[in-house]
Amino acid sequence: GSSKGLEGAVGLKTKDGELYMLGLCEGNHCEEGKLGKDKGNGLAVLMKKEINVADPIEGYTCVWKTQRMLSIPKQAYFQDYSAIAINAQGRVAITSQEESQVWLGSLTHVAEDGTFDPEKSEFSDDSNTDVVYDFPRDTNCATVYCNVEGIHWINDEMLVGVSDKMKKGGKQDFRCLQKDQSIHVFVMP
């Protein structure tokens, strides 16, 4: 669509050293509009770089070709998806700007050296280990981290996030201004 697309991406390598990109769709079903707001239907696109692909205009070029789609577990019951991070052990963090939350889970079939299996890897769907956290709220339990657009693992117990600018014209509560255009460090509870 014209306003929704990939909202985050991570590079992953196979045992053979092949580079893949896992792109996080912003809208549910990788769509915008009403279908894109259908909570709990998040997807990520697994792509592989192909070189020397024939192009009628530019001759030969390289493209990121879709290999398959990975479903984000229903536990990440989000209206939108704003960022993704995967550490070397396969731990995953996926954020939602609308819900001001982060889902923590894992990518399956990740080896000790951090490589992954592009045919078998999936996001975990284990309610015993996966968790959704709210980003901290104010003293009235109102959202203040309204625009988290980036996330990254610092270590197993810490995440760093970045926030985009608050939306203008009364589209967001005044509380959102306090954390806009900022860098945040979160320690796991």
Strand partners, 153: 159
pLDDT (0 to 100) of residue 75: 94
Q: What is the sign, positive or negative, of the torsion defined by CA atoms of 142, 145, 147, 150? A: negative
Token pair for 186: 């979160």
Sorting pLDDT into bands at 50, 70 and 90, what band is 56? confident
Sorting pLDDT into bands at 50, 70 and 90, what band is 91? very high
Token pair for 138: 């104010």
Q: Which amino acid is at 188?
A: M
Tens digits of per-residue pLDDT, 41-53?
Answer: 999 999 998 887 7
pLDDT at 5 over 70: yes
Q: Average pLDDT for residues 110-118, to the nearest whole number?
A: 94
pLDDT at 113 over 80: yes
pLDDT at 1 over 70: no
Sorting pLDDT into bands at 50, 70 and 90, what band is 30? very high
Token pair for 91: 């731990």
Tens digits of per-residue pLDDT, 143-188?
Answer: 999 999 999 999 999 999 999 998 888 888 888 888 999 999 999 9
Residue 66: what are its φ and ψ, rounded to 5°? -65, 130
In angstroms, the CA 38 to CA 17 distance is 37
